[in-house]
Amino acid sequence: MTQENSTLIITEAETYFAVPISRPDFGSSGKTGSWRTERPIINEEKCTKCLYCWLYCPEDTILRRQDDMVYVDYDYCKGCGICAAVCPVNAIEMVPEVKTGEN
């Protein structure tokens, strides 16, 4: 078992092992869509597909369809309103979040 070059073996511990490691995943702080007090509504007719809202959204919750039309991921959108503020054609409106009866 020689090691002329440095080899590295990553192997699980053989005793009870709990260590603070994580991997990137959705919802590390829950479904943050529940934080909203208002939600962005995109007017697809006004939208020019400039992608500014997609660029500036802090949460990565404005997504692009194949034709680059944008839509919102309401599970995680926090309702900050940056998308509405940067839209050059005012195609996004922030409307109060209203309980629709579903969770």
Q: According to the binding rule CB under 8 A, does residue 73 interact with other proteins?
A: yes
User: Closer CB to other proteins, residue 1 or residue 98?
Assistant: 1
CB of 73 to other proteins, least distance (A): 6
Q: According to the binding rule CB under 8 A, does residue 84 interact with other proteins?
A: yes
Q: How far is CA 44 from the centre of its chain?
A: 20
Which residues touch 44 (CB under 8 Å, ≥6 apart)? 69, 91
Q: According to the binding rule CB under 8 A, does residue 30 interact with other proteins?
A: yes
Yes or no: say if 44 and 92 are a contact pair by the CB < 8 Å rule: no
CB of 5 to other proteins, least distance (A): 9
Dig out the tokens for 78 from the structure.
Answer: 């926090």
Among 25, 96, 99, 101, binds other proteins (CB under 8 A): 25
CB of 99 to other proteins, least distance (A): 19
Q: According to the binding rule CB under 8 A, does residue 13 interact with other proteins?
A: yes
Burial of 49 (0-12, 13-18, 19+ CB in 10 A): middle
